[in-house]
Chain A
Amino acid sequence: MSMTKTTDQTVLVAMSGGVDSSTALHKILEAGYQAIGVTMKLWEYRDSGGNLVADSNCCSISSINNARLVCEQFGVPHYTLDHQPAFRRSVVNNFVDEYLAGRTPNPCVRCNTFLKWGSLLEQAREMGADLIATGHYARIDNTADTPRLLKGRDPLKDQSYFLWGIDRATLARTIFPLGDLTKTAVRTIAGEQNLPNADEPESQEICFIPDNDYRRFLNDYAPERSAGSKAGNFIDENGKILGTHRGIAGFTVGQRRGLGIAGPEPYYVRRINPATGDITLATRAGVTFRSCRVGELNLLAGEAPHSWRELTVQIRYNHPGVAAIVIPEKNSSLRIEFAEPQFAVAPGQSAVFYRGDQVLGGGIITEGIVDE
């Protein structure tokens, strides 16, 4: 992060109430900025179920109060701002639409694009804050002419994958105070600062599905549409019917569990056909893809894809990345040729393009291609 001491600049720090954003606030103050803490109220758990007992997730009263406690500890004002309508519109409804269409969405990507670097950034301006900061593990390099988004220094925590969709112009107004730190270092700092959440457990699930049960969520949130989800057959690669299923919603390419189909080797979902309801199963070797198509591009580095060299692409969060070449196609779509065939390239997931640590851009996978 930029450590220029500019005490007249005000930073809006997005506070979930967790250890990362709390430590981010500390780093912002340490760097000499003025700060305002904001918790975005995105979701009400009674709307989705799944968290009626547990109360430790983001957007719960206890996490909002945690954020408030941390801000009070640092003498910083804290506000909770209601973003529920935009979250529902831009993130949750899209999540439902995508799953019901047989794709596998990344709601965190859309939340960053439309909420944090969308409506929140606009509110920051209205509140007189020049910059926003979050607890993401990513970095911004301000040494070049225009800011470059880089991976976080901690390879286990790097979250740049979720940030490919943000408007390039907003990088200049963004600080990632944790980008140079490891999670372990963050916990140490949080402990030194006596932050109340220094030892909180890691949360990995999607924030509005705290029990991680997507099927349950779809049934609770969109019962009629889930009930109408296209039922059909499990088939093998030759079209032979292996069994039936009650709806494509909730199946993901690469999924093994919950299929209920026995074979000599475990079956995985290879393809979901939303038109016919057919779900093609294959052995693990049959669910690898040589290439894929990517749409809805965002060119975060400003360079045109045909000039991308020494490229690696990450096709899901925690994917190690694979060397690839891109072939621009019509309709602003890209065809990605992997150096090695990749397991479970799932339509709906983000493909994020890197050169070294730099995020060049990203897009949404529209189809995985086995071979031609």
Chain B
Amino acid sequence: MLYFDHSATTPLHPQVAELIHDINTSYFGNPSSIHRYGQKSRALIEKARRQVANLIGCRAGEIIFTSGGTEANNLILWNQLGADRPHVITTAIEHPAVSATLARLHKSGVPITTVKVDKQGIVDADAVISAIRPDTGLVTVILASNEIGTIQPLAEIATRLRNTNIRLHCDAVQVPGKIPLDVGQLGVDFLTISGHKFYGPKGVGALYRKQGIFLHPLIYGGGQEQQLRSGTENVSGIAGMGLAAELARRQLPETTRHLRELADVFCQAICEHLPDARVNGDPASGLPGLVSLVLPQVTSDIAVVSLDLAGMAISNGSACSSGTVEPSPVLREIGLSEAENRRTIRASFGVDNTAEEVEQLATKLVDVVNHSK
């Protein structure tokens, strides 16, 4: 089997897998315990906190470990319920971890403004700023779209928000290990990442919270993670995410180059053999290694199934929990028709993919499209 669905999740880096295994078999102490079992576990977590902080250019104390990106997003967004300035500005192409949470908050009276995106899937910073009201407390913008890979002008939005008391949150789950990520340069107050998107384990993520900003927790209990995320820590998962962060940071320039090259190989092959296919977004300026493609004729579910049966894993833009391929709201927002929406696939390459593998994928995909004629 060949795997081209790294935006869904990545395999564990072998060193990370080894570390997690070692911790699970050797260190079982509760990090809150006083004895040395606890001390060892505590040390593992704090080391990971530094590694994750280094990945995104913040201080260790600004990292809060959560069960994943979804929880980190929820933690930020639920703070708007009952806030002095509850109004939230967001974009039309957020991941459901943000958009569905905001839909729920809206039901409880949190005012939401959703800003449109252009055909490339990029939000206009001016439009975000124009949406500001006296009661605006939070702007939340995805950094790189999980479906089409376009990158949003976060730094520009942050600059325009400077000298306001509006907080800026960014869901950056797709980004670590693909392009440089620095919370200082972005100018955000909060940022969400997830371990399993950069060769770390599932079930662990992190929220960056700029020092000094008060938040209410979502989960109450023993007060772990600076009172913001109670519950005995997932020690091996957190340590695994830490090591994955360190590896991602060290290999970043090489990874970026490799992923861009793979996407180029794929796009060129498709361009040559399927001239009627159309690429969404702009792979050259977008997230390295992610290609979203509107196929001629064949629907994405049949393409995904046929490729799977041929031993190649890709996806469409947004598979729901039942595994059904349904039209994607994000693709609708960038102006795709219902039919184009249902013909859109996503290939997302990873560090272990080779140019030969990507050529095989293109060849097989061309076969699938031609077979359906």
Residue ranges of A at the interface with B (Cβ–Cβ < 8 Å): 36, 41, 61, 64, 68, 77, 79-82, 84, 123, 126-128
Contacts and interface: CB of A to CB of B under 8 A. Distances in A.
28 contacts: A36-B305, A36-B309, A41-B322, A61-B321, A61-B322, A64-B322, A64-B323, A77-B308, A77-B309, A79-B301, A79-B323, A80-B322, A80-B324, A81-B301, A81-B305, A81-B324, A82-B301, A82-B324, A82-B325, A82-B326, A123-B302, A126-B302, A126-B306, A126-B371, A127-B302, A127-B309, A128-B309, A128-B371
Interface in B214-233: none
A61 B324 CA distance: 10
Contacts of B326: 82, 84
A61 B372 CA distance: 29
B372 A126 contact: yes
A127 B309 CA distance: 8
Given A123-B302, A126-B372, A127-B302, A80 B309 contact: no
Given A68-B323, A126-B302, 15 more contacts: A41-B324, A64-B322, A64-B323, A79-B308, A81-B325, A82-B301, A82-B325, A123-B302, A126-B298, A126-B306, A126-B372, A127-B302, A127-B305, A127-B309, A128-B306
A38 to B, nearest CB: 8
Contacts of A68: 323
Nearest to B342: A82
Contacts of B322: 41, 61, 64, 80
Closest CB pairs A-B (n = 3): A41-B324, A80-B323, A82-B324
A132 to B, nearest CB: 14
Contacts of B305: 36, 79, 81, 127
Nearest to B302: A126
Point out which of A36, A64, A80 has the most chain B C-beta atoms below 10 A from its C-beta.
A80
Interface in B309-345: 309, 321-326
A351 to B, nearest CB: 35
Nearest to B301: A81
Interface of B: 298, 301-302, 305-306, 308-309, 321-326, 371-372
Chain A interface main SS type = mixed
A127 B306 contact: yes
Nearest to B327: A82
A353 B371 CA distance: 39
B43 to A, nearest CB: 39
B332 to A, nearest CB: 15
A112 B326 CA distance: 22
Nearest to A123: B302
A128 B322 CA distance: 23
Nearest to A85: B338
B368 to A, nearest CB: 9
B321 to A, nearest CB: 6
Nearest to A10: B309
A68 B306 CA distance: 18
Contacts of B301: 79, 81-82
A77 B308 CA distance: 9
A68 B322 CA distance: 10
A276 B147 CA distance: 54
A120 to B, nearest CB: 12
A86 B371 CA distance: 23
Nearest to A65: B322
A51 to B, nearest CB: 15
Nearest to B325: A82
Contacts of A82: 301, 324-326
A118 to B, nearest CB: 15
Nearest to B368: A126
For B301, B306, B321, the residue with the greatest tally of chain A CB atoms inside 10 Å of its CB is B301
B305 to A, nearest CB: 5
A43 to B, nearest CB: 11
A36 to B, nearest CB: 7
A127 B302 CA distance: 7
A77 B1 CA distance: 13
Contacts of A77: 308-309
Contacts of B309: 36, 77, 127-128
B372 to A, nearest CB: 5
A123 B308 CA distance: 15
A81 B322 CA distance: 10
A64 B320 CA distance: 12
Contacts of A80: 322-324
The CB with the most chain B CB atoms within 10 A, among A79, A84, A123, is that of A79
B320 to A, nearest CB: 9
B308 to A, nearest CB: 6
Most buried by A among B302, B308, B322, B326: B322
A253 B324 CA distance: 39
B77 to A, nearest CB: 22
A82 B298 CA distance: 14
A36 B310 CA distance: 13
A234 to B, nearest CB: 43
A232 B36 CA distance: 82
A50 B322 CA distance: 20
A186 to B, nearest CB: 26
Contacts of A41: 322, 324
B157 to A, nearest CB: 35
B61 to A, nearest CB: 40
B172 to A, nearest CB: 29
A33 to B, nearest CB: 15
Contacts of B323: 64, 68, 79-80
A126 B368 CA distance: 8
A36 B326 CA distance: 21
A68 B301 CA distance: 17
Contacts of B371: 126, 128
A41 B302 CA distance: 14
A128 B321 CA distance: 26
Contacts of B372: 126
Nearest to B371: A126
A79 B319 CA distance: 12
Nearest to A64: B322
A80 B306 CA distance: 13
A36 B301 CA distance: 14
A126 B309 CA distance: 12
Contacts of A61: 321-322
Nearest to A60: B322
